[in-house]
Amino acid sequence: MAERYDVVVLGAGPAGYVAAIRSAQLGLSVACVDRWRTPSGEYALGGTCLHVGCIPSKALLESSEHYERARHRLAAHGVSVGEVSFDLAVMQARKEAIVRRMGRGIAALFRKHGVAWIPGHGRFVAGGTTWKLAVTGEGGTRELEATHVIVATGSTARRLPDVEVDNRIVCDNEGGLAFERVPERLGVIGAGVIGLELGSVWRRLGARVTLLEALPTFLPAADESVAQEAWRLFTGAQGLHIELGVRVESVVRSREAATVRYRRADGSAAELACDRLIVAVGRQPASEGLGAEAVGLAIDAQGFIEVDKNCRSNLPRVYAIGDVVRGPMLAHKGEEEGIMVAEIIAGQHGHVNYDAIPWVMYTMPEIAWVGATEQELRTQGIAYRAGRFPFAYNGRALGRDDVEGFVKILADAVTDRILGVHAIGALASELIAEAVLAIEFGASSEDLGRICHAHPSMSEVMREAALALAGRSLNG
């Protein structure tokens, strides 16, 4: 006999578990199916984000930044710490403890809201007035019946043809977060978000890091002024070695090392020998094995489930959210979609503003933006004005010894409505929330410039950048 629910969510990453909780808050009976297993074989909630993504990477970024600051930045404050060392096993154990704690937290939230957690691999079996699904887990196969289905099966690391990932020598994000010792020479294929974040972690801990990037432009999605500043800082004092415009031809793995053969931008042949290699060339949607063909669920050529702006699939009462559908592969984008879909199912007017989704890279300094870049506005022929202010003129930044970077605000030349905000600097991940609010509320740069900001605070740089747009910065 099938278990019957109003909503079955497939996948308990940030998109799926938030959709499940919001559905339950709205009075719907909900089951959430997930097949994730920890290395010790236990089923666990939280998906890529919690286990091998956002959370563990940020834990290691934080630990490695403490080490770097202790070595190079504390002396300027008059703090001497003598010989500084670190214990990677402790760092890794701390990271794992955070992951376990948050996983238990999601399970507790499911209990609190009455969401049934069904461990195992879920797939569609048949459709009709209700959807029939099968979940294969440790104890065999369970049958579920649902009025609504939300597919939130996420993504997996994209592979390069003929490059086998063993997650020991040649790694994806899973292996790249779990090294037991710091490699002397780390190679990274792909200078995108994962490459730069994980490259930064291991560089801070002592690895010589080389990133090989196929595109001729560094960070093309970021505003070009931010990308230029990031390039200067990462390849300058920080010592990340980044080669652009390369074509990787082969990767040869031996017992303790790997060699990447590639062509440089000028066509010459080159080789990179490294002790560990991270392949970080993007992610692909996890839509295989879903039983899509059994029910006629439309999937595009890249494997994304086809959806409209409200995440409705081609099937009635079947939705798809998060990394498995179009749009940026970001945890908070998936969460917003989960809330929207739950509200639509409950008869409300769910909505996601895709123009107000922030991007953050947790490098040092951090990079964050929301809205259009200057090059996008130029291409679209939109008349704009730009205001920019450096952290170096800010008292709090000087006090923190975090003077690198700037905030730039782009606003419509006629209406003054804010179109894009770009920050590179310490705490940019936190500062960007104000810019998201401004864009969501349709604020003008004058609005931002007239809001009282605490002094001294990094957030004053946001205000000063807004004032700079009208040529009236107070401190610069």
Q: Nearest approach, Cβ of 238 to ligand NAD (angstroms)?
A: 18
Q: Catalytic amino acids?
A: 455
Instruction: Answer for the pair 413, 264: CB distance below 8 angstroms, yes or no.
Output: no
85 backbone φψ class: left, alpha, beta (φ>0; ψ -120 to 50): beta
Q: Does residue 202 interact with ligand FAD by CB under 6 A?
A: no
In the set 226, 278, 361, 397, which binds ligand NAD (CB under 6 A)?
361
Q: Nearest approach, Cβ of 151 to ligand FAD (angstroms)?
A: 8
In the set 212, 260, 272, 462, which binds ligand NAD (CB under 6 A)?
212
Q: Does residue 211 interact with ligand FAD by CB under 6 A?
A: no
Contacted entry of ligand NAD, ligand FAD, none for residue 285, CB cut-off 5 to 8 Å set by kind:
none
370 backbone φψ class: left, alpha, beta (φ>0; ψ -120 to 50): beta
CA distances, 272 to each of 80, 243, 250, 267 (Å): 38, 11, 11, 15
Residue with tokens 């010792």: 181
Residues 408-467 that bind ligand FAD (CB under 6 A): none
In this structure, the dihedral spanned by the alpha carbons of residues 192, 193, 199 and 203, taken in order and rounded to 10 degrees, is: 120
Q: Does residue 283 interact with ligand NAD by CB under 6 A?
A: yes
Q: Nearest approach, Cβ of 329 to ligand FAD (angstroms)?
A: 4
Backbone angles phi, psi at 452, to 5 degrees: -75, 125
Chain mean position to CA 20: 21
Q: At residue 20, what is the residue type?
A: A
CA distances, 228 to each of 29, 293, 435 (Å): 50, 46, 21
Instruction: Answer for the pair 174, 165: CB distance below 8 angstroms, yes or no.
Output: no
Contacted entry of ligand NAD, ligand FAD, none for residue 386, CB cut-off 5 to 8 Å set by kind:
none
In angstroms, the CA 70 to CA 78 distance is: 12
Instruction: Answer for the pair 442, 433: CB distance below 8 angstroms, yes or no.
Output: no
In the set 213, 229, 335, 336, which binds ligand NAD (CB under 6 A)?
213
In the set 150, 248, 274, 443, which binds ligand NAD (CB under 6 A)?
248
In the set 61, 133, 280, 432, which binds ligand NAD (CB under 6 A)?
280
Which is closer to ligand FAD, CB of 245 or CB of 303?
Answer: 303
In angstroms, the CA 249 to CA 263 distance is: 7
Give DSSP secondary structure letters for 324-358.
Answer: GSSS---HHHHHHHHHHHHHHHTTS-----GGG--
In angstroms, the CA 152 to CA 350 distance is: 17
Backbone angles phi, psi at 385, to 5 degrees: -120, 150
Which is closer to ligand FAD, CB of 190 or CB of 390?
Answer: 190
Four-residue CA torsion sign, 323, 327, 329, 334: negative
> Helix or strand or coil: residue 133?
strand
Binding mask 104-143 for ligand NAD (x = CB under 6 A): ----------------------------------------
Stretch that binds ligand FAD, among 89-97, 256-264, 325-333, 389-397 (CB under 6 A): 325-333
Q: Nearest approach, Cβ of 368 to ligand NAD (angstroms)?
A: 9
> Helix or strand or coil: residue 107?
helix
Which is closer to ligand NAD, CB of 43 or CB of 359?
Answer: 359
Q: At residue 435, what is the residue type?
A: A
Stretch that binds ligand FAD, among 20-28, 34-42, 255-263, 455-463 (CB under 6 A): 34-42
Instruction: Answer for the pair 435, 370: CB distance below 8 angstroms, yes or no.
Output: yes
Q: Nearest approach, Cβ of 338 to ligand FAD (angstroms)?
A: 8
Contacted entry of ligand FAD, ligand NAD, none for residue 15, CB cut-off 5 to 8 Å set by kind:
ligand FAD
Q: Nearest approach, Cβ of 266 to ligand FAD (angstroms)?
A: 32
CA distances, 350 to each of 263, 343, 439 (Å): 49, 5, 19
In the set 20, 194, 227, 462, which binds ligand NAD (CB under 6 A)?
194
In the set 33, 52, 55, 360, which binds ligand NAD (CB under 6 A)?
360
In the set 329, 364, 409, 439, which binds ligand FAD (CB under 6 A)?
329
Contacted entry of ligand FAD, ligand NAD, none for residue 190, CB cut-off 5 to 8 Å set by kind:
ligand NAD
The residues of the shown chain that bind ligand NAD, judged by CB under 6 A, are 160, 189-195, 197, 212-215, 248, 280-283, 328-330, 360-362
The residues of the shown chain that bind ligand FAD, judged by CB under 6 A, are 10-16, 33-36, 47-49, 53-54, 57, 121-123, 152-155, 173, 194, 286, 289-290, 322-323, 329-332, 334
